[in-house]
Chain A
Amino acid sequence: EDQVTQSPEALRLQEGESSSLNCSYTVSGLRGLFWYRQDPGKGPEFLFTLYSAGEEKEKERLKATLTKKESFLHITAPKPEDSATYLCRDYKLSFGAGTTVTVRA
Chain B
Amino acid sequence: SQTIHQWPATLVQPVGSPLSLECTVEGTSNPNLYWYRQAAGRGLQLLFYSVGIGQISSEVPQNLSASRPQDRQFILSSKKLLLSDSGFYLCAWGTGKNEQYFGPGTRLTVT
The interface of chain A, by Cβ under 8 A from chain B, is 4, 31-32, 34, 36, 41-46, 49, 87, 89, 91, 93-98
Contact = CB atoms under 8 A, between A and B. Distances in A.
Nearest to A45: B102
Majority DSSP secondary structure for residues of B touching A:
strand
Contacts, number: 48
Majority DSSP secondary structure for residues of A touching B:
loop
29 contacts: A4-B43, A31-B98, A32-B98, A34-B98, A41-B107, A42-B104, A42-B105, A43-B90, A43-B92, A43-B102, A43-B105, A44-B44, A44-B90, A44-B102, A46-B102, A49-B99, A87-B43, A87-B44, A89-B100, A93-B34, A93-B49, A93-B100, A95-B36, A95-B43, A95-B45, A96-B43, A97-B42, A97-B43, A98-B43
